[in-house]
Amino acid sequence: MQASFLRSVRKLHRNTGILLFAFFFIIALTGLLLGWKKNSFGLILPATSTGTSTQLSEWKSLEELNAIADSTLLAMVGNNISTRLDRIDARKDKGIVKFVYIQDYWEVQLDGATGKPMQINQRRSDLIEDLHDGSFFDLYFQTKGEPIKLIYTLIMSTALIIFTITGFWLWYGPKQIRRKKAEKSTRSSG
């Protein structure tokens, strides 16, 4: 019975691994890159610039800064790019505001006080994160409510739980079988 159960566990472990290998590889690789994003010398995540003032009272309005960021993006990347924002990230302690755009993961960093563009870069970390959690496919297919991400997360987290449990049994099960055989052998010889 124990050996039969162990064979079933091994088969479930192997088949799940074969089926989801590529997804686990992508999750592992993107997870590694995300872990190193702040230490990538700006390759994965652009470094945060420093502005001239950390006093919010000296900053331009978000509306003014947004207009500057949009015009900077259009001037630097091209007029055919969308200025639809993903988010605005104000860094008071650094004196800058980051405008992060949806299309192609562009970021424009502006000095909060002067509105001067500090840098414009693509945020590769956002693409990597979208691949990591499956939301890339919701963006690609333009689905509402992130259903692909939710299904992907459910499948992958369930698979990880299955791998943890079956992996434990693949390690523990043979120990149990050997222990039971040793007990039987001791009883029959004694």
72-122 pLDDT, tens digit each: 999 999 999 999 999 999 999 999 999 999 999 999 999 999 999 999 999
CA distance 102 to 115: 21
Can you tell me whether residue 78 is helix, strand or coil? coil
Angle formed by the axes of helices 147-189 and 124-133, to 10°?
60
Cα 54 from Cα 90, distance rounded (Å): 11
- Joined together, the tokens standing for residue 116 give 């001067």
Cα–Cα distances (Å) from 158 to 7, 111, 161, in that order, read 21, 45, 5
Q: Which one-letter DSSP state was computed for residue 56?
A: G
For the chain, domain boundaries: 1-44+124-182, 46-122
With a cut of 70, list the residues of the chain below it in pLDDT: 1, 190
Contact predicate 46/119, CB 8 Å: yes
Spatial CA neighbour of 49 closest among 114, 141, 143, 133: 114
pLDDT at 44: 96
Q: What is the pLDDT of residue 38?
A: 94
Q: 98: which residues sit within 8 A by CB, 6+ positions away?
A: 48, 88, 89, 90, 91, 107, 108, 109
Q: Tell me the pTM.
A: 0.82
Q: Which residues is 109 bridged to in the sheet? A: 98, 119
